[in-house]
A = this chain, B = another copy of it.
């Protein structure tokens, strides 16, 4: 019989939709949620810290981790690698914690196969126009990359049906409140409750 385990919450959505900001605000307000820090080969942006937003690794280091099957999912995007290390997520779930994963849509697809019971939340922008403005406002990408990301966003909106919830990022605080509610509601869901009761 499987042990009672924590809950995996996956926050995903198009690049620039604000999922990073939402997750940071959510974590700042929720001491009981663990964040799964990803590994990336992209450059560290101003204000980012090793081990907080990402573990920054070289391509060689990343490829070694792939070889050693240390990732739940990994992907190449705009010439860089991004991956979710297995160890941290597995340990937090074993400790019956709620683990938050902020990953792109391809990554979410891979995680869904491994954790079908996870809570998959898709963040959508109020409009693509606003998404474009946000990407430009961030000022960390070239115009070419912004265009690539926008094209990808349109395609990714078709993936919504693979998710459990959709949260519009009109206002950060409203989006954070909705995600908190989703987590609370999921903990009350009969499926999880009966599983917990059965395992105790």
Nearest-CB distance from A140 to chain B (Å)? 29
Contact check, B165 vs A190: say whether CB atoms are below 8 A apart: yes
With a cutoff of 8 Å between Cβ atoms, the chain B residues found around residue A160 in the complex are: 190, 193-194
With a cutoff of 8 Å between Cβ atoms, the chain B residues found around residue A167 in the complex are: 188
A166 at the A/B interface (Cβ < 8 Å)? Answer: yes
Q: What count of chain A residues pass the 8 Å CB interface test?
A: 22
Give the distance in Å from the alpha carbon of A3 to the alpha carbon of B185 in the complex.
Answer: 27
Within 8 A of B (CB), among A9-41: none
A178 at the A/B interface (Cβ < 8 Å)? Answer: yes
Q: Is the interface of A mostly helix, strand, loop or mixed?
A: helix
A49 at the A/B interface (Cβ < 8 Å)? Answer: no
Give the distance in Å from the alpha carbon of A167 to the alpha carbon of B181 in the complex.
Answer: 14
Contact check, A188 vs B193: say whether CB atoms are below 8 A apart: no
With a cutoff of 8 Å between Cβ atoms, the chain B residues found around residue A185 in the complex are: 165, 178, 181-182, 184-186
| Contact among B121, B163, B190 for A161, CB-based, below 8 A | B190
Nearest-CB distance from A160 to chain B (Å)? 6
With a cutoff of 8 Å between Cβ atoms, the chain B residues found around residue A182 in the complex are: 181, 184-185, 188
A110 at the A/B interface (Cβ < 8 Å)? Answer: no
A164 at the A/B interface (Cβ < 8 Å)? Answer: yes
Give the distance in Å from the alpha carbon of A182 to the alpha carbon of B186 in the complex.
Answer: 8
A residues sitting closer than 8 Å to B (CB atoms) are 121-122, 160-161, 163-167, 177-178, 180-182, 184-186, 188-190, 193-194
Cross-chain pairs A/B with CB under 8 angstroms, 9 sampled = A160-B190, A163-B190, A164-B189, A165-B189, A165-B193, A166-B188, A178-B184, A178-B188, A184-B185
